Structure 1
Amino acid sequence: MASDTSPKSCADVAVVILNWNGLDYLRQFLPGVLAHSAGATVFVADNASTDDSVAVLRAEFPAVRVLENGGNLGFCEGYNVALGRLGPEFRYYVLLNSDVEVTPGWLAPQRALLEANPRIAACQPKIRQYSPDPATRQLFEYAGAGGGYLDSLGYPFCRGRLFDTLETDTGQYDDARPVAWATGACLLVRAEAWHALSGLESTFFAHMEEIDFCWRLQNAGWQVWYQGGSTVFHMGGGTLHKSNPRKTYLNFRNGLALVYLNTHPAELPAVLIGRIALDGVAALRLLAQGQWADCKAVLRAHWHFWGRFGYWRQRRRKFPPRLRLSERAGTYAGSLVWAYFGQGKRKFPELDFEK
């Protein structure tokens, strides 16, 4: 029997937008979320904003429920605290960035996917670029695109986006399929699975936290999917621009933690050695390009990861990795870095795999 995709079926969905001084985004995108999320309850979890976000929400958006976190807890802990306050009436949560434009019917197909298969714990829609330019809006967006994948060394990429190369959406990724990870820009997750895994890894603070969460889901026996029957548009870079050294630091530190926490014991030594070597190459490349602050961010990321190795080891023991590379959905057995920079492969189909 087909799952119900009517608006009333979304009454058990909580759409939660994390906000920190994002009043302009809320005014721009929140009306669309309210208009196109019929049946769901919309929350804004505020990380102690100083731009009058809370006052404006209460005055201009009375339909929105406001959750005040009491401090800037970051993306990870901000969501952990906010979702921990929701009641049992919500079977599904949506983690939605404040700079996302949703479309009519964006929510129901994702919920229907999880309803149809109780093994699916999380999914994402198709993510395209938000822009006033119609041509740019046809491009996939960095954060998720047509579904998240990992290569053999744990480097993340997407269908529709390899490094800085973006594909135009021509309907090539309109399917629904298992993936390695679903983007935190618009992540629908089963409440049961969220709480079973204790939510996001708070030490990540931001960046790659959803990849870690989705990898842990797979290790725990759940599935993660992409639903191409739903589309949203993401502005991106609203908090940290991709060229910000702080973002470079978080991406490299969290990337190293990501593979350490989740890689199967038999494969971990080779993966760690490979990551350290390629991170060193990346640091040298940044130095050669005159990006000294970003180069230092890479070095600092490794210093801080190894400095807290005891903590990461404890977390790995709490959520032990169980899947080998060949057993994980959405995993490319080769090296994305070599395929892209060494072989000149710029689009997902050129990687010669479907898994």
Structure 2
Amino acid sequence: MDISIIIVNYNTKDLTLQTIQSVCKSKTQFAYEVIVVDNASTDDSIQAIRDEFPQITVIQNDKNLGFSKANNIGIKQATGRYILLLNSDTVVMEDTLELMVNFMDENKDVGASGCKVILPDGSLDKACKRSFPTPLNAIYNALKLDVLYPASKRFGQYNLTYLDNNKIHYIDCLVGAFMMVRREAIEQVGMLDEEFFMYGEDIDWCYRIKLAGWKIVYYPLVKIIHYKGGSSKKRNPKLIYEFYRAMYLFYKKHYKNTYPWLVTAAVYSGIGIMMGVKLIINQFKKH
């Protein structure tokens, strides 16, 4: 098997069916398998997927285990040379799989690669090519300095806005909506960190892959469409909490022993304040 495509589903029946349909329309010489891991959906997703696509593997969890754990369950079942994490709210172009595998086969030093990710309005999903978050570039991003000065290598570092979106680049991290990872890289660094529930696990994985000496590549010669937030449109407090907890986990895991304690204290305080503000705003929006 060349490619094992892991799709995590959580109450996104129609979107997931659309994603699988797009994969099945792929024009490729490579053999692939689709593994859907369901996080205890209540919208009849499982039955609909099994009825329309009896040839694919469906794994049903008895509760919502989150993105990392669900993907790891799929990876353990996978037999492909490459593992492709694919969001349930994406549409793959016909040549995406073929060209991505060709690129990976021709570049043995690449541990993970991602394509151009386009939002429904035609704009680029900036998360598909990023630097690793640092206290400084996170501040620039929060202050929208990358929007004001997109061509600046200093202010545009977080989302690499100064890079040409149509050219291949070596970068730090990809987005988990579409990430093709070489099996040898996974065997070396391990699977996704299950401490992350549904945010930050892609950044952490890329960090470990790159730390192990593999290259991470943004490959924009192919693309997907990302209906972003399809599985998390309801901004309940749990998701907001997990978003900011992921920031805390990543910093604690990779940066805590690198920065002075004053910086660490400031980062933790900032994360807590931002989370509090977001929860308050979210509560007012509900009413």
Structure 1-normalised TM-score?
A: 0.66
Instruction: Report the CA distance between 1:153 and its aligned residue.
Output: 1.7
SS at 1:82's partner residue?
Answer: helix
Instruction: Report the CA distance between 1:56 and its aligned residue.
Output: 1.9
Q: What are the Cα deviations for residues 28-79 of structure 1, in whole angstroms up to 9, with x where unaligned?
A: 3321111026332222122233322222222211332223344422111001
Which of 124, 127, 132 is the aligned partner of 1:150? 132
Over the aligned positions, Cα root-mean-square deviation in angstroms equals 3.2
Across the two proteins, how many residue pairs are aligned to each other? 267
Greater mean alpha carbon deviation, residues 14-23 or residues 67-76: 67-76
Query: Which amino acid is the alignment partner of residue 220 of structure 1?
Result: A
Query: Which amino acid is the alignment partner of residue 125 of structure 1?
Result: C
1:62-81 counterparts in 2 under 5 A?
Answer: 62-81=54-73
SS at 2:274's partner residue?
Answer: helix
Gaps of 5+ in 1: 1-10, 131-135, 295-355
Verify: 1:84 aligned to 2:76, yes or no. yes
Query: Take 1:164 and 1:266, find their aligned partners in 2: how far apart are those partners?
Result: 25
Query: Which amino acid is the alignment partner of residue 92 of structure 2?
Result: V
Name the residue aligned to 1:18. Answer: 8
Instruction: Report the CA distance between 1:198 and its aligned residue.
Output: 2.5
SS at 1:149's partner residue?
Answer: coil
Name the residue aligned to 2:158. Answer: none
Query: Which amino acid is the alignment partner of residue 16 of structure 2?
Result: L
Task: Tell me if structure 1 keeps the 8 A contact 2:240–2:275.
Answer: no
Which of 117, 120, 124 is the aligned partner of 1:140? 124
Q: Do the aligned partners of residues 179 and 153 (structure 1) sit closer, same or farther apart at CA in structure 2, a change above 3 Å counting?
A: same
SS at 1:291's partner residue?
Answer: helix
User: Which structure would you say has the larger RCO, counting Cα contacts within 8 Å and 6 or more residues apart?
Assistant: 2
Greater mean alpha carbon deviation, residues 18-27 or residues 46-55: 46-55
Name the residue aligned to 1:184. Answer: 176
Which of 201, 215, 224 is the aligned partner of 1:232? 224
Q: What are the Cα deviations for residues 238-295 of structure 1, in whole angstroms up to 9, with x where unaligned?
A: 22238543332112111011022122834364652341343355357658xx62759x
Query: Take 1:244 and 1:200, find their aligned partners in 2: how far apart are those partners?
Result: 24
Query: Take 2:90 and 2:260, find their aligned partners in 1: how far apart are those partners?
Result: 36
Query: Take 2:3 and 2:83, find their aligned partners in 1: how far apart are those partners?
Result: 6
Name the residue aligned to 1:54. Answer: 46
Name the residue aligned to 1:3. Answer: none
Q: What are the Cα deviations for residues 119-146 of structure 1, in whole angstroms up to 9, with x where unaligned?
A: 221111111102xxxxx2x21125x24x
Verify: 1:119 aligned to 2:109, yes or no. yes
Query: Which amino acid is the alignment partner of residue 204 of structure 1?
Result: F
Instruction: Report the CA distance between 1:92 and its aligned residue.
Output: 0.2
Name the residue aligned to 1:5. Answer: none
Structure 2-normalised TM-score?
A: 0.80
SS at 1:206's partner residue?
Answer: coil
Query: Take 2:136 and 2:63, find their aligned partners in 1: how far apart are those partners?
Result: 32
Q: Do the aligned partners of residues 164 and 48 (structure 1) sit closer, same or farther apart at CA in structure 2, a change above 3 Å counting?
A: farther
Query: Which amino acid is the alignment partner of residue 180 of structure 1?
Result: D
Gaps of 5+ in 2: 151-160
Query: Which amino acid is the alignment partner of residue 68 of structure 2?
Result: C
Q: Equivalent pairs: percent with the same residue?
A: 27
Instruction: Report the CA distance between 1:113 and its aligned residue.
Output: 2.9
